[in-house]
Amino acid sequence: MINREWHLRSRPVGWPKPEDFALVETEAPAPGEGQVLVRNTYLSVDPYMRGRMSAAKSYAEPYRLGAVMLGGAVGEVIASNADGIAVGDHVLHYLGWREYAAVDAAQAVKVDPEAAPLSAYLGVLGMTGLTAYAGLLRTASFKEGDAVFVSGAAGAVGSQVGQLARLKGASRVVGSAGSDEKVRLLVEEYGFDAAFNYRNGPVAEQLRTAAPDGIDVYFDNVGGEHLEAAVGALNLRGRIAICGMISVYNNTEPAPGPRNLARLIQTRGRIEGFLVGDHYDLQPQFVREVGPWVASGRLKYRETVVQGIENNLEAFLGVLRGDNTGKMIVKL
């Protein structure tokens, strides 16, 4: 069987360019001892992948030049040399950016396509959902009555953060997004109390209008101007959880930090970054609590689905541009 997979040819400088990548045809691998062969059905593309394309030291190993890249994927087992996983099972794993993958059984998690659509295990019920849950509840120490501001709120993580805050009794939930259509989605479908298009004016001014009494929690997916505005709006003992800073991922020079950090002294505010990998102990609790909300429709989600592995790179670039509403998924 022919297996198409995406390789990193050169490390991008600034915005990734098509010539930094190559779609390569190889032979589908045979599963070794303790492995299963998975025909991938859905692939995930996520902002953190931009960091792995750089050689800079980070929390995740850089992608190797001339080798297939990695990412979340879910698919069907078509051959098995492992106990406990049979042909026909569906599994979640992290050998994406390819059509077929030989996966160590210990690194594969069986998922039930009857309980939820397969793509949901890459988003609302997967790493994306756990990121929202852990960042809001543990890192930001959310409590009932808090006023919450979420940047990148129409994205996969941000949309879930806002809904979780609402379901858990936030006094006010405010989101920012990059289009008027996404702003309407936040208010009309996801139940945000207010939202604004950050392209329509200074973030600080729009946030002041949307949250006139200030904010207790800021969940940051964007950084830059948004972070500075949030520091300015922070109430006494407010908390900021740094999940991502997509506004600076393609910068070739260090981005200036917020100019108003001294305000944290006045507010006794706290800023803390986090990685979802440090919070996998919350996974059982997350599934128990959030699964029923998803099944009942109380927690809504959207996906932007791109067809075909040949469009995997364009889907990734679309995430960096903010083209997606909800989770960006590639369907093979």
Q: Are 76 and 41 spatial neighbours (Cβ–Cβ below 8 Å)?
A: yes
d(CA 112, CA 150): 31
Average pLDDT, the chain: 94
Pairing of strands 194-197, 270-273: unpaired
Chain segment 173-232, per-residue pLDDT in tens: 999 999 999 999 999 999 999 999 999 999 999 999 999 999 999 999 999 999 999 999
Whether residue 325 has pLDDT greater than 90: no
Whether residue 250 has pLDDT greater than 80: no
pLDDT of residue 179: 95
pLDDT of residue 252: 60
Split at pLDDT 50, 70, 90, the class of 251 is low
**Side-chain-side CA neighbours of residue 83 (13 Å):** 0
Whether residue 314 has pLDDT greater than 90: yes
Residue 165, SS3? Answer: helix
Whether residue 331 has pLDDT greater than 70: yes
pLDDT of residue 254: 67
Alpha helical stretches, state H, the chain: 48-52, 127-134, 156-167, 180-188, 203-210, 225-233, 263-267, 283-296, 312-321
Q: What is the mean pLDDT of residues 60-78?
A: 95
d(CA 74, CA 91): 6
Q: Which tokens in the block code for residue 153?
A: 């709120």
Residues 6+ apart with CB under 8 A from 67: 7, 8
Q: What is the mean pLDDT of residues 317-322?
A: 92
Whether residue 294 has pLDDT greater than 70: yes
Q: Which tokens in the block code for residue 13?
A: 């400088």
**Counting Cβ atoms within 10 Å, is residue 320 exposed (0-12), middle (13-18) or buried (19+)?**
middle
CA distances (Å), origin 67, targets 21, 27, 95, 171: 10, 14, 12, 48
**Where is average pLDDT lowest: 16-25, 112-121, 264-273?**
112-121
**Closest Cα partner for 209 from 221, 219, 198?**
198
pLDDT of residue 277: 86
Chain segment 70-119, per-residue pLDDT in tens: 999 999 999 999 999 999 999 999 999 999 999 999 999 899 998 889 99
pLDDT of residue 15: 92
328: number of Cβ within 10 Å = 24
pTM confidence score: 0.82
Q: What is the separation of C-alpha 154 from the centre of its chain, rounded to a whole number of angstroms?
A: 11
Q: Identify the helix (H) or strand (E) that includes residue 213.
A: none
Split at pLDDT 50, 70, 90, the class of 36 is very high
More confident residue, 305 or 250: 305
DSSP classification of residue 326: B
CA distances (Å), origin 75, targets 49, 117, 122: 20, 12, 11
Split at pLDDT 50, 70, 90, the class of 60 is confident
Q: Are 249 and 222 spatial neighbours (Cβ–Cβ below 8 Å)?
A: no
d(CA 134, CA 61): 23
DSSP assignments along 243-259, one per residue: ---GGGTT-SSPPPPPT
How far the first Cα of the chain sits from its last, in Å, is: 15
pLDDT of residue 245: 84
Q: Which tokens in the block code for residue 332?
A: 């093979």
Q: Which tokens in the block code for residue 33?
A: 């001892």
Q: Identify the helix (H) or strand (E) that includes residue 172.
A: strand 172-177
Residues 6+ apart with CB under 8 A from 83: 105
